[in-house]
Amino acid sequence: MGMAKNSTAGAIVSALRAVTKDWAKQRKAEERHASAVRNRRERLTKFRPITIKEAAWRAMQRAYLTASANGTLPATATQVMYAARNEIQQRTGRQLDRQYFNQTLLPQYLAETNVSWDIVFDDRGHFTEPHKGKTFGLGTLAVRNYLRSSGAPIWTEPTVSAGGIATCGPQCRFRGAVH
């Protein structure tokens, strides 16, 4: 009978060790690395949290339609981000970074899905024409307006100009008034 008790106790200890093996491993990792505490739930549960990218892909179409008045107006990347932000943050439990959304997630989504949305980006600098001196912003709407207004080149016939003397300063002009 003593033997049966020992084998039962041994079986219970073995079973407990097997069941708590992952937990013990995680706790030891947490003692070594403070960041491991954040990973405990993900590691010890079968639940895999949704990534920000997955949540963004699920929210993107609704967000664009909201920001663009159902596709009738151009929408800025930031407007789409604000329309998607609450849903993404609720699904992931994480803060959404505007720059990451505007410069990474939205361009990836547009490239991967081939949607024909009218997304516009803000000016990121200015351009000045070298010959005319006309300056315009380097954002989607400013470039569209510039291209729309520029039109086709117009040929002008060459002319011969009258001669003259180029002067600078009082020489040959108002020297007597300066002396």
pLDDT digits (tens, 9 = 90+) for 14-61: 888 888 888 888 777 777 776 666 666 667 766 667 899 999 999 999
pLDDT at 179: 43
Residue 91: CB atoms within 10 Å: 17
pLDDT digits (tens, 9 = 90+) for 1-13: 445 567 888 888 8
Q: Which of 61-65, 108-112, 119-123, 129-133 has the lowest mean pLDDT?
A: 129-133
Buried b (16+ CB within 10 A) or exposed e, 105-132: bbeebbeeeeeebebbbeeeeeeeeeee
Q: Is the pLDDT of residue 126 over 50?
A: yes
Mean pLDDT of 81-102: 94
pLDDT grade, residue 97 (50/70/90)?
very high
Q: What is the mean pLDDT of the chain?
A: 83
Q: Contact at 8 Å (CB) between 84 and 56? A: yes
Of 58, 141, 57, 53, nearest to 100 by C-alpha is 53
pLDDT more than 90, % of the chain:
46
pLDDT grade, residue 175 (50/70/90)?
very low
Cβ burial of 88 (10 Å; 0-12, 13-18, 19+) is buried
Q: Contact at 8 Å (CB) between 93 and 49? A: yes
pLDDT at 174: 46
pTM, whole model, 2 decimals? 0.57
